[in-house]
Amino acid sequence: MNIVNLLIRSVFVDNMIFAYFLGMCSYLAVSKNVKTSAGLGVAVTFVLLITVPVNYLIDKYLLSAGALAWISPKFAAVDLSYLTFILFIAIIAAIVQILEMVIERYSPALYSALGIFLPLIAVNCAILGCSLFMQERAFGNVGEAAVFGLGSGLGWLLAIVTIAAIREKLRYSKIPKALEGVGIAFIITGLMGIAFMAFMGIKL
Amino acid sequence: MNLKKLVIEPLRKANPVTVLVLGICSCLAVTAKLKPALVMGLSVTVVTAFSNLIISLLRKGIPSRIRIIVQLVVVATLVILIDQFLKAFAYDVSKQLSVYVGLIITNCIIMGRLEAFALSHGPVESFFDGLGNGFGYSLILIIVAFFRELFGSGTLLGYQVIPQSFYDAGYQNNGLMILPPMALIIVGIVIWIRDAGRRDVRHET
């Protein structure tokens, strides 16, 4: 499968927010100004780029039916796929923790930009969701999985920065009292989703 | 504490979805039809209630530094049980829900209730608090799914509701209702209707 095609599709067509509603909680909670939401978006993209390929390898060589055959033929009949959820979430939590420590050690500037968001990310459904989609779609190799993770992250970044920009301007507009805040954010997201549906027919 | 109040309050006044904006995450995707929404609501209720109960029982023994991991493990185990149960007894629904069953793990309602309630209250109260929040969440899913299925497919739970004579007279299903963006817009409208005419609700902007 074409890598560029996969990237474009996962950014625009299968957008995490508009098509699958993944990561809505932090999307609504953090999108009050552009700067912080861009920070969170970059952090999510970064974590996705690393966790999706790692989970791909875990799935391929540990979890799926017959995956353990590389250790010894005796294990060829073992199917551990029911452990998927618990292992994926553990891997994600561990990677986020390690990333936090590595970034703190080697790049204090990046750490102070991303730092506060990293712990939040472990329980962001976009991260776990992306790994589960990766498992469902059965990519051919680890590169495709990484591109899928990158694309999904960029799509999420795009969505959160756009809505943050809109919400900054909303402060100056007259919204019905009862609709202020969250209510209007939902409706705007819906409208943006309709706009993104225009990308649906794209073939590369 | 009044157990009945714990169950009733999250339905309206402290609804986890419309007031606290928790757990909206992935689960709107299952509301295109009523049946998966019901199953999803029920699964989340079971997981919230029992994870609240278990964490509340364990709360004296969990060191607070590693409590997040402990909570994740308890929740993930419950979700695996639900997933296997659905695969065994309701295979077609479990196919429709696809990855969204797994995403119950990262549903913020569950973690939110564990942190805010179960860690500081007794097991019985926590169980009922979990039930109440699960019901409050299911209520929103069911409202959204009801309108989407009714106008999007003209059916409810798979049964034809809009009579055939309407279609003969030129009525058409609204295809937009089935698509993801409408779920968001309906939630927005639900919030609007609920808050209209109430002075005490103050959303932060």
Report pLDDT digits (tens) over B90-116.
888 888 887 788 888 877 788 878 888
Residue A134 has pLDDT above 70, yes or no: yes
ipTM over 0.95 threshold: no
Spatial separation of the C-alpha atoms in residues A2 and A162, rounded to whole Å: 28
Which pLDDT belongs to residue B204?
46
Note the Cα B25 to chain centre separation in Å. Answer: 10
What backbone torsions phi and psi does residue A171 show, to the nearest 5 degrees? Answer: -55, -25
**Residues forming beta bridges with residue B156, ordered by sequence position:** B159
Which pLDDT belongs to residue A44?
86
**Residues written for chain B:** 205
Spans of chain B, pLDDT less than 70: 1-2, 12-14, 16-23, 25-27, 197-205
CA distances B54 to B45, B46, B68, Å, are 14, 12, 14
Spatial separation of the C-alpha atoms in residues A117 and A110, rounded to whole Å: 11
Instruction: Show the domain range for B86.
Output: 26-192
Lookup: tokens for B135: 């019901």
Tens of pLDDT along A13-55?
888 888 887 888 778 777 777 888 888 888 888 889 999 999 8
Spatial separation of the C-alpha atoms in residues A79 and A63, rounded to whole Å: 7
Residue A166 has pLDDT above 60, yes or no: yes
Spatial separation of the C-alpha atoms in residues B121 and B57, rounded to whole Å: 9
- Between A165 and A138, name the one with better pLDDT: A165
The answer to whether residue B47 sits within a structural domain is yes
The answer to whether residue B155 sits within a structural domain is yes
Q: Cβ contact (<8 Å) for B108 and A25?
A: yes
Note the Cα B1 to chain centre separation in Å. Answer: 25
- Structurally, chain B folds into a number of domains equal to 1
The answer to whether residue B18 sits within a structural domain is no
Q: Cβ contact (<8 Å) for B188 and A25?
A: no
Which pLDDT belongs to residue B18?
63
Best interface-test mutation with B: which of A27, A125, A135, A174 has the largest number of B CBs within 10 A? A125
Q: Cβ contact (<8 Å) for A93 and B69?
A: yes
Select from A125, A136, A185 the Cβ nearest to the Cβ of B26. Answer: A125
CA distances A32 to A149, A172, A186, A196, Å, are 25, 14, 13, 21
Best interface-test mutation with A: which of B17, B19, B20, B26 has the largest number of A CBs within 10 A? B26
Lookup: tokens for B17: 């979805």
The answer to whether residue B2 sits within a structural domain is no
What is the nearest CA distance from A93 to chain B, expressed in angstroms?
A: 8
Which pLDDT belongs to residue B197?
62
The answer to whether residue B204 sits within a structural domain is no
Which pLDDT belongs to residue A63?
79
Q: Over range A103-112, report the average pLDDT.
A: 79
Select from A136, A178, A181 the Cβ nearest to the Cβ of B99. Answer: A136
Asked whether the beta carbons of A58 and A136 are under 8 A apart, the reply is: no
0.90 exceeded by the pTM? no
The answer to whether residue B4 sits within a structural domain is no
The answer to whether residue B10 sits within a structural domain is no
Mean pLDDT of all residues in chain A? 82
Asked whether the beta carbons of A66 and A193 are under 8 A apart, the reply is: no
Any residues with CB less than 8 A from the CB of A95 and at least 6 apart, and which? A47, A50, A51, A54
The answer to whether residue B19 sits within a structural domain is no
What is the nearest CA distance from B179 to chain A, expressed in angstroms?
A: 8
